[in-house]
Amino acid sequence: NAGVTQTPKFRVLKTGQSMTLLCAQDMNHEYMYWYRQDPGMGLRLIHYSVGEGTTAKGEVPDGYNVSRLKKQNFLLGLESAAPSQTSVYFCASSYGQVGGAGNIQYFGAGTRLSVL
């Protein structure tokens, strides 16, 4: 059982380049999330989705876009990468909504992104 799979695992970008991070889950979860984790800070929510075809902004959405065309996939895009976006990115999914039953989040292994 793969759970939550993120690709790529590592990436180095130059300022201004674009890229897409892919998250795939095989648990039939409705809810999916993208977080970033920086040294000395807790995980911060970038965007999330409550179902196929829906997306919503989290705490730190600027500079990122997302799409959820299929239930099992959640894509995070950086249109014009900046050094401030150097971080570790985690995708997560859950069966139910935050605060409700089934709201335990399962995380992917992360993507380490450096923007030079």
Give the x/- contact pattern for another protein in 16-35, rule: CB under 8 A.
Answer: -----------------x-x
The secondary structure of residue 114, as a DSSP letter, is E
> Is 1 among the residues that bind another protein (CB under 8 A)?
no
56-95 residues near another protein, rule: CB under 8 A: 56, 58-59, 90
User: DSSP letter at 70?
Assistant: S
CA distance 86 to 89: 9
Task: Give the residues across from 70 on adjacent strands.
Answer: none
**Residue 45 binds another protein (CB under 8 A):** yes
Q: For residue 58, count other CB atoms closer than 10 A to its CB.
A: 16
- Stretch in the footprint of another protein (CB under 8 A) among 18-26, 64-72, 78-86, 101-109: 101-109
